[in-house]
Amino acid sequence: MILTLDIEGKANEIQRELLQDESTFSEVRTWLLKRKGQRQSVNFIKLLDEFILSLEGLQGHISEFTLEDAATLLSNAQNTIRDFHILNEAFEKDVYCQDPFLKERFRYLLQTLYKTEALLHLATTKDLPVMPTPDYIKEGLAKVSRETIIKAL
């Protein structure tokens, strides 16, 4: 049995919880500020925690994925990272000042997304042939290293 996760679907669920009737990330920031401490933000934190746990659980099974599954998830992860960076920037000014716990939770979510993306990238490129480094690049690096050492002395 292979575990899989709909990364974009989970991210969309989080965005739906945030947006509800709103349509832009700046409106999301306003929405969160209005509902600070209310039940809605508790549900949002719970969704973030579930997403983080899902990603962490997925990380241990990425090596079992087929190349196509890993490539699809990699694309989803990259799109989700882009979307969450936009959301993160929208929160920077007002929301994080009032709710440092949310800032920490978002930071950890992005960190987990990046780790998942890196593992998926490795899974999609593991079968590609490794190209040896050309001699002119090695010689150029050695020359720069020698010059740097001489300047440091």
Over residues 43-98, the pLDDT tens digits come to: 777 778 888 888 888 888 888 888 888 888 888 888 888 888 877 887 777 666 66
Over residues 110-151, the pLDDT tens digits come to: 999 899 999 999 999 988 888 899 999 999 999 999 888 888
- Angle among Cα 74, 76, 81 to the nearest 5 degrees reads 95
Closest C-alpha among 101, 91, 92 to residue 28: 91
Is the pTM higher than 0.75? The answer reads no
Type of residue numbered 130: V
Where are the domains positioned within the chain?
Answer: 7-152
For 113, other C-beta atoms within 10 Å of its C-beta total 21
The backbone torsions φ and ψ at residue 101, rounded to the nearest 5 degrees and listed phi first, read -65, -40
Cβ 3 vs Cβ 53: under 8 Å: no
